[in-house]
Amino acid sequence: SISQESLYATVHSIVVGQINAKSGQIYFPFMYVLFMFILVNNLIGMVPYSFASTSHFILTFSLSFTVVLGATILGLSKHGLKFFSLFVPAGCPLALLPLLVLIEFISYLARNVSLGLRLAANILSGHMLLNILSGFTYNIMTSGLIFFFLGLFPLAFIIAFSGLELGIAFIQAQVFVVLSCSYIKDGLDLH
């Protein structure tokens, strides 16, 4: 269908744009499956009384750990010990080298946490807000006839916010893939 082709083209342009035209083709199938997995799980979470698996940290941290570990192994296998030059900023004074290498190493390790935390926190916060607003609206609308009509305003807000959550489902899948491609590019090109 047109929507599937559009998603395919979107992910393909992300992968080719982030990595490069030649190497990006190798990693495109993995990135496409990753994008679709996150997107479908985000969209399933939008169905009432369903479970958003991407709102749980164990899943998102597992995905992010796999991507970062794979990018690290890729970099080590391609560049050997030169891979560690990734932690040395260009033009760094020798006196600051130990401190900057430590900072770069910590930021490299933080990729796991930030990639997984970003996805889970965004999905979880949106679902929690919808849950709270839905409960509030239900309590108002079941309190009497006058309150039923007053409850239409928060109900309209919930419907609008659900539309925003659908957009966030797509954006979070895209952000995860963009950052994953960026980490793979770091492993391939060392900067």
82-93 pLDDT, tens digit per residue, is 888 888 888 888
Q: Give the tokens for residue 102.
A: 């430590």
Tokens 């990135």 sit on residue = 31
Distance CA 48, CA 29 (A): 31
Q: Are 38 and 172 in contact (CB under 8 A)?
A: yes
Q: Give the CA radius of gyration of the chain.
A: 21
pLDDT of 129 strictly over 70: yes
75-125 pLDDT, tens digit per residue, is 999 988 888 888 888 888 888 888 988 998 999 999 999 999 999 999 999
44-60 pLDDT, tens digit per residue, is 988 888 888 999 999 99
pLDDT value for 191: 66
**End-to-end C-alpha distance for the chain, whole angstroms:** 38
Report pTM.
0.89
Q: List the Cα angle 10/14/19 in 5-degree steps.
A: 155
39 CB-near residues (< 8 Å, 6+ apart): 7, 169, 170, 173
